[in-house]
Amino acid sequence: MTEAASGRKGKEPGRRLSRRDFLRLGGVAAAVGTVGLLTGKRILGAPGVESTIDSKVKYGMVIDLERCVGCRSCMEACKVENNTPKASFWMYVFRLEEGTYPNVRTQSLPRPCMHCDNAPCVKVCPVGARHYGDNGVVLTNFETCIGCRYCMTACPYSVNSFNWKHPKDNQYYDWKNDEGAGVYGEGSVNTYLDNAIPPYENPDHDKRYGSEQRLVAGSGHYLGVVEKCTFCVHRVTKGLLPACVDNCPVRALHFGDLNDPDSEISQLLVKKRSFRLLEELGTEPKVYYVGGTPPSEAVRQFDSISREVPWGRVR
């Protein structure tokens, strides 16, 4: 398959691995262990949050389950902001219930990538595409990912998705077609969107980030790569909050510096009892939950978009 057909443009010569190299690197990985919407409402000038690259900063998220109403606005904001493909959700909100009528308890549980300090996906990547970026965020270098999907197998949280189709064939919104019709009727789409930039044309997704200047932001770059939540690295580096946080109508999501004791999220963790998903696995997630309890194996998901429940059974 040619590079044009695969959607992998701009690859440097010599980057493509032979089958022998791939199998050799795969053996090494197995030995290691297979274990907004651009609103800009709230700026990262909140206490303890910095937008500049600083090795002392460790970004994390606190999710208040008492405030979450399960509206899934964060899911929509993430999808629009990052241009994720159809059926791919970097942020997912589980609607859960436990017990039998009339003693039924319900709970909504948002699940982004956990951005683990001890990330299994980083350990098993044979080419170093999955890596720790600046400020502790776990990212994927789209230009070096070979689509082996070891990270998908290793991740206990089911946050990764594989780009099965050419990006232009798998857009969530049909913003334009060959005749120039927009999603809301005939005519140019910009007529209806007041000249807004469609997500797939967001110039921030094509920029390089971090001290090593890697292509890590947004989605839909190439066919055959694994993608996931990036904590909206392209927004954070500009001093903005991740799209999911910025668009939560009830402020259930909080983002900031875990290493700063005066930051909003550090103060929340002091004031409220917290837990992390599957923390017994030693992955050291940087996403904390307050105002609720960990889901048990007895929970059932209702009103689901996806049937994946990584911590237990789906009935």
Partner residues linked to 214 by β-bridges: 209
Sign for the CA dihedral angle at 5, 197, 90, 26 comes to: positive
* Chain centre distance of CA 230: 5
Partner residues linked to 308 by β-bridges: none
Q: CA dist 249 to 66, 68, 178, 235, Å?
A: 14, 9, 36, 19
Distance CA 9, CA 139 (A): 20
Distance CA 255, CA 91 (A): 14
The DSSP annotation for 89-155 comes to -SSEEEEEEEEETTEEEEEEEEE-----TT-HHHHH-TTS-EEE-GGG-EEE-TTT-----HHHHH-
* Chain centre distance of CA 71: 18
Q: Please give the model's pTM, rounded to 2 decimal places.
A: 0.75
**pLDDT tens track, the chain, 315 positions:** 444 444 444 443 333 444 344 334 343 333 333 232 223 333 343 333 333 344 589 999 999 999 999 999 999 999 989 988 888 899 999 999 988 888 888 899 999 999 999 999 999 999 999 999 989 999 999 999 999 999 999 999 999 999 988 877 777 665 554 444 444 334 444 444 556 667 777 889 999 999 899 999 999 889 999 999 999 999 999 999 999 999 999 999 999 999 999 999 999 999 999 999 998 999 999 999 999 888 888 888 887 775 444 544 433
Angle at the Cα of 254 from the Cα atoms of 260 and 95, rounded to 5 degrees:
140
Structure tokens at 186: 């005939």
Query: Domain 36-301 adopts which CATH fold?
Result: Alpha-Beta Plaits (3.30.70)
DSSP symbol at 86: T
Spans of all domains in the chain? 36-301
Structure tokens at 188: 């140019």
pLDDT at position 29, please?
35
> Taking a C-beta distance cutoff of 8 angstroms, is the pair 251, 71 a contact?
no
Distance CA 303, CA 86 (A): 18
